[in-house]
């Protein structure tokens, strides 16, 4: 850390060896956050190389590679899932959690935040001033809300358009909030001679605290003295950094001594810096670049490892999530103690075609061992297709992942991350605890999936495997919701966005061998009567043996929205025998469920049975059910039938700059804006009521409209009459589909 390397025995780990940690103080859990393309995965690979976890070809001794991604990631050229890469540095095990940068996979990001104790925000310097996106700022604020320590890594310094100083200043302005002096560089890039194109490559770093230059031009870090041309810039940045560190120091005399002209000892500054970083009150900025071909060390990788191992907190310094008993009873708070009660959490679930289900687990308390029986508790998310869990399972082999390889480990102590094989019932978010002391951890916040994708099995063979494939798919991904809509008879996957949906369908096909076709999503409409009507239902058939005879006269009148269906008996004189009146009602309600115009359920009517006829021999329950259904259809044939569409209460949270465009867009969707409220952080909350048929793709459209900074929620409010012109258009579409099927 510009002088931190002399405080410990800094030795890289051995390639091919799985890092081990039996004490929480020897573990650092770090999640890498940043927009897609910022270079998170490249940085993880560079850190693995610098730590000796891989050789210069990017491989470990047993043939694995940190770059071994699944087929979907290789095909799409981007990360779509959380991945763990453990490395060892200076006797410290560093669990690097690489997260997808694309907004559709925010569930993987949230899982990474849950498993980590600190975050590295990766920002590209080659984005023409757009290195920090709105989504990155939102995650920064999430980390701030829970006090998670953070640092910033500026990448893509090799680009001709890169500007570290400008990017660092932007980080201070946009991430520092009220205290931009808490987001400051620890190093400045040192540039070599300019090439023919005029671009001067970054060849080293100048440590602001140590006042040394760390030259990477040879592929190894070499220490040198700064040249005279660098001193003015270095001194100015150093003074600002020292003032920022002192402002966060617990030593209240330090600022007075500094202002009085005293030279503060570098070791004192580093100690205070590391404490401030671990507390989450100071956020250092470091430049980094991958190693050149044949080089051992990437620019800034050693400095970053020193920061992570020296400045980021141990699991002992982070609060363990609250626990209860599975039945909701209170439990005392836990500490990160390997000898304490077992409390671990599944933060990711995946399937391997050879090994089966693999669960990535963060152990918060106690020690997890292979072949022991644990209790699995889950909160259950039935609305998302996840069952509640309260079962016991036997833990399979424990392993440490590296790319596609799983290297065995004997146990996992509190504070560590480990992969567990063959947990057949445990899903993402479930708690693992001792079978004689079951616990349930407080769940982490998971966003709602708001993009519906209706699917059908491609063939009969696929239909037989669809249910099992879908259940496995949602078990891996709690941001996905499975719905089997009884009204529209559609199977619907609710996803975070189009990319999320594409990955889900590709996994269904490639991993579970289930091919599906997407079909237009149907909004559950309703039908109702626009005016009163009367009709007779006559079901009379004569054949050999007993015939069928049932006649009923009904009156239908519309009711207010939300009334449902009322059935009233006003038969006089026993025209319809008492035992058959429930049969008429049953037939009416069955027909109402099937619809009378376009096949949508009928609601908000009162059906009054006023008269009818029966036969002493040929009348039956089935006959009067049929007559009741016919009567409702006949009444509808001579009446105005209105279509009712569902209306949702929508809340949209956006930065103030996008309030106007968002409100205009909602109005264009036939929405009624109910009002706006100011929210913290320069945001506004917009409340509106919008027909659900208009917001099927709103998850995608809002992201585009707000440049990834908007969020929205929706809740069913009621059904309302659809405008006549839209209802007529829908009728035309259904007629065309019916004719097409007939052909």
Place of tokens 């560590």: 416
Residues 6+ apart with CB under 8 A from 362: 29, 114, 115, 344, 345, 347, 416, 417
Residue 448 has pLDDT above 60, yes or no: yes
HEC profile for 610-621? EEEECCCCCCCH
The pLDDT value given to residue 382: 59
160 — pLDDT class (breaks 50, 70, 90): low
The pLDDT value given to residue 272: 94
The pLDDT value given to residue 259: 87
Q: Max Cα separation, the chain? A: 115
Residue 3 — φ and ψ, nearest 5°?
A: 135, -10
Residue 14 has pLDDT above 50, yes or no: no
CA 525/CA 602 separation, integer angstroms: 9
Residue 63 has pLDDT above 90, yes or no: no
CA 314/CA 23 separation, integer angstroms: 10
Please give the torsion angle defined by the CA atoms of residues 284, 290, 296 and 299, in that order, rounded to the nearest 10 degrees. Answer: -40
Please list, residue by residue across 173-190, b when 16 or more beta carbons sit within 10 angstroms of its beta carbon and e when fewer do: ebbbeeeeebbbbbbbbb
CA 537/CA 519 separation, integer angstroms: 37
- Name the CA radius of gyration of the chain, rounded: 32
The pLDDT value given to residue 297: 83
The pLDDT value given to residue 74: 53
Mean pLDDT of 145-156: 92
Residue 64 has pLDDT above 60, yes or no: no
Cβ proximity of 211 and 226 under 8 Å:
yes
Mean pLDDT of 228-232: 88
Query: Tokens for 236?
Result: 């100015």
The pLDDT value given to residue 554: 96
The pLDDT value given to residue 269: 93
The pLDDT value given to residue 356: 78
Place of tokens 């009444």: 635
Cβ proximity of 121 and 43 under 8 Å:
no
386 — pLDDT class (breaks 50, 70, 90): low
The pLDDT value given to residue 33: 94
Distances (CA, A) of 2 to 186, 497, 706, 730: 8, 43, 40, 69
The mean of the pLDDT values for the chain is 87
Beta bridge partners of 123: 154
Look at strands 373-378 and 431-434 and give their pairing: antiparallel
The pLDDT value given to residue 634: 95
Residue 183 has pLDDT above 80, yes or no: yes
Residue 674 has pLDDT above 80, yes or no: yes
pTM (predicted TM-score): 0.85
191-195, 249-253, 309-313, 419-423: segment of lowest average pLDDT: 191-195
Q: At what angle do helices 698-705 and 659-668 cross, to 10 degrees?
A: 150
The pLDDT value given to residue 86: 94
Proportion of the chain above pLDDT 90, given as a percent: 59
The pLDDT value given to residue 387: 63
Residue 714 — φ and ψ, nearest 5°?
A: -140, 150
What tens digit of pLDDT does each residue of 94-132 get? 999 999 988 888 889 999 999 999 999 999 987 654 557
Cβ proximity of 347 and 114 under 8 Å:
yes
Residues 6+ apart with CB under 8 A from 489: none
CA 494/CA 706 separation, integer angstroms: 21
Query: Tokens for 524?
Result: 């559950």
The pLDDT value given to residue 427: 87
Q: In what order do the strands lie in the sheet with 417-421?
A: 389-394, 373-378, 431-434, 343-352, 356-365, 417-421, 398-402, 405-408
Query: Tokens for 243?
Result: 């003032």
Mean pLDDT of 484-509: 92
Q: At what angle do helices 164-175 and 134-145 cross, to 10 degrees?
A: 50
Domains parsed from the chain with CATH numbers: 4-317 (3.40.50.300), 323-441 (2.40.30.10), 451-518 (3.30.70.870), 526-639 (3.30.230.10), 643-725 (3.30.70.240)
Residue 3 has pLDDT above 50, yes or no: no
* Helices and strands (H and E) in the chain: how many: 16, 35
CA 455/CA 494 separation, integer angstroms: 11
List strand residue ranges (DSSP E) for 83-210, in order: 83-89, 92-98, 118-124, 150-155, 187-191, 202-207
Place of tokens 């250092």: 284
278 — pLDDT class (breaks 50, 70, 90): very high
Beta bridge partners of 88: 93
DSSP 12-79: BPPTTPPP--SSGGGEEEEEEE--TTS-HHHHHHHHHHHTTSS-TTSB-TTS-BTT---HHHHHHTS-
Query: Tokens for 224?
Result: 């040198």
Cβ proximity of 359 and 426 under 8 Å:
yes
Residue 511 has pLDDT above 70, yes or no: yes
**108: buried, middle or exposed (CB in 10 Å: 19+, 13-18, 0-12)?**
buried
Cβ proximity of 86 and 111 under 8 Å:
no
What tens digit of pLDDT does each residue of 541-587 get? 877 667 899 999 999 999 998 899 999 999 998 899 999 999 999 99
What tens digit of pLDDT does each residue of 583-615 get? 999 999 999 999 998 889 999 999 999 999 999
**47: buried, middle or exposed (CB in 10 Å: 19+, 13-18, 0-12)?**
buried
Question: In 3-state terms, what secondary structure has residue 363?
Answer: strand
Q: Which residue has the higher pLDDT, 72 or 46?
A: 46
The pLDDT value given to residue 561: 86
How many CB atoms are located within 10 Å of the residue 289 CB?
25
How many degrees, rounded to 5, is the angle at CA 260 between CA 256 and CA 266? Answer: 75
Mean pLDDT of 396-413: 87
Question: In 3-state terms, what secondary structure has residue 251?
Answer: coil
CA 38/CA 19 separation, integer angstroms: 27
* The total number of residues written for the chain in this structure: 743
**248: nearest Cα among 166, 152, 179, 315:** 179
Beta bridge partners of 485: 490
* CA-based torsion, 62, 64, 65, 66: positive or negative: negative
475 — pLDDT class (breaks 50, 70, 90): confident
The pLDDT value given to residue 4: 38
Residue 16 has pLDDT above 80, yes or no: no
5 — pLDDT class (breaks 50, 70, 90): very low
CA 368/CA 343 separation, integer angstroms: 9
CA 300/CA 38 separation, integer angstroms: 16
The pLDDT value given to residue 351: 79
The pLDDT value given to residue 476: 83
């Amino acid at each position: 850390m510009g002088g931190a390397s002399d405080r410990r025995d800094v030795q890289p780990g051995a390639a091919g060896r799985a890092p081990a940690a039996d004490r929480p103080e020897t573990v650092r859990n770090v999640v890498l956050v940043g927009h897609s393309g910022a270079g998170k995965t490249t940085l993880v690979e560079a850190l693995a190389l610098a730590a000796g976890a891989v050789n210069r070809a990017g491989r470990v001794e047993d043939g694995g590679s940190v770059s071994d991604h699944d087929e979907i990631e290789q095909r799409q050229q981007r990360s779509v899932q959380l991945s763990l890469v453990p490395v060892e540095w200076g006797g410290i095990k560093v669990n690097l959690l690489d997260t997808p940068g694309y907004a559709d996979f925010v569930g993987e990001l949230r899982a990474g935040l849950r498993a980590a104790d600190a975050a590295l925000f990766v920002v590209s310097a080659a984005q023409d001033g757009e290195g920090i996106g709105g989504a990155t700022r939102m995650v920064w604020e999430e980390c701030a809300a829970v006090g998670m320590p953070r640092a910033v890594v500026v990448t893509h310094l090799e680009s001709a358009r890169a500007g570290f100083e400008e990017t660092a200043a932007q980080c201070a302005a946009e991430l520092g909030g009220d205290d931009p002096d808490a987001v400051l560089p620890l190093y400045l890039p040192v540039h070599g001679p300019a090439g023919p194109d005029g671009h001067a490559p970054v060849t080293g770093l100048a440590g602001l605290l140590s006042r040394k230059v760390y030259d990477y031009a040879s592929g190894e870090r070499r220490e040198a003295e700064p040249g005279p041309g660098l001193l003015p810039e270095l001194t100015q940045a150093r003074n600002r950094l020292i003032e920022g560190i002192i402002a966060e120091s617990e030593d209240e005399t330090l600022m007075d001594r500094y202002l009085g002209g005293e030279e503060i000892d570098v070791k004192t500054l580093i100690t205070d810096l590391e404490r401030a970083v671990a507390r989450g009150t100071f956020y250092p900025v470091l430049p980094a670049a991958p190693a050149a071909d044949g080089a051992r060390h990437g620019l800034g990788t050693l400095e970053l490892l020193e920061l992570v191992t020296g400045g980021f907190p141990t699991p002992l310094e982070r609060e363990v999530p609250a626990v209860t008993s599975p039945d909701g009873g209170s439990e005392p708070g836990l500490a990160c103690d390997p000898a304490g009660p077992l409390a671990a959490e599944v933060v990711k679930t995946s399937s391997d075609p050879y090994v089966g289900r693999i669960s990535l687990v963060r152990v918060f308390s106690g020690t997890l061992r292979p072949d022991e029986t644990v209790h699995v508790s889950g909160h259950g998310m039935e609305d998302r297709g996840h069952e509640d869990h309260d079962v016991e399972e036997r833990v399979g082999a424990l392993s440490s992942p590296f790319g596609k390889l799983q290297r065995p480990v004997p146990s996992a102590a509190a504070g560590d991350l480990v992969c567990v094989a063959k947990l057949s019932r445990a899903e993402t978010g479930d708690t693992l605890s001792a079978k004689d002391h079951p616990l349930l951890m407080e769940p982490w916040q998971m966003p709602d999936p708001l993009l519906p994708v209706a699917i059908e099995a491609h063939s009969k063979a696929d239909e037989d495997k669809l249910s099992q494939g879908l259940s496995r798919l949602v078990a891996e991904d709690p941001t996905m919701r499975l719905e089997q809509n009884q009204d529209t008879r559609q199977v619907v996957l609710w996803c975070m966005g189009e990319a999320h949906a594409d990955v889900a369908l590709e996994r269904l096909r490639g991993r579970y061998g289930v091919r599906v076709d997407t079909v237009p999503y149907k909004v559950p409409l309703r039908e109702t009567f626009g005016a009163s009507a009367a009709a007779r239902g006559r079901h009379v058939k004569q054949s050999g043996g007993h015939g069928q005879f049932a006649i009923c006269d009904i009156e239908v009148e519309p009711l207010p929205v939300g009334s449902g269906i009322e059935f009233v008996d006003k038969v006089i004189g026993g025209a319809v025998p008492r035992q058959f009146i429930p049969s008429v009602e049953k037939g009416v309600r069955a027909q109402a469920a099937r619809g009378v115009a376009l096949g949508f359920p009928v609601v908000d009517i009162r059906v009054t049975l006023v008269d009818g006829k029966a036969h002493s021999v040929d009348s039956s329950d089935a006959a009067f059910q049929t007559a009741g259904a016919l009567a409702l259809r006949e009444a509808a044939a001579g009446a105005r039938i209105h279509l009712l569409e569902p209306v949702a209460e929508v809340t949209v949270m956006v930065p103030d700059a996008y309030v106007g465009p968002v409100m205009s867009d909602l109005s264009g969707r036939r929405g009624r804006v109910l009002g706006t409220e100011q929210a913290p952080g320069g945001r506004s909350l917009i409340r509106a009521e919008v027909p659900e048929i208009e917001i099927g793709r709103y998850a995608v459209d809002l992201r585009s409209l707000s440049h990834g900074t908007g969020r929205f929620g929706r809740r069913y409010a009621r059904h309302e009459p659809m405008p006549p012109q839209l209802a007529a258009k829908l009728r035309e579409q259904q007629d065309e589909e019916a004719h097409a099927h007939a052909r």
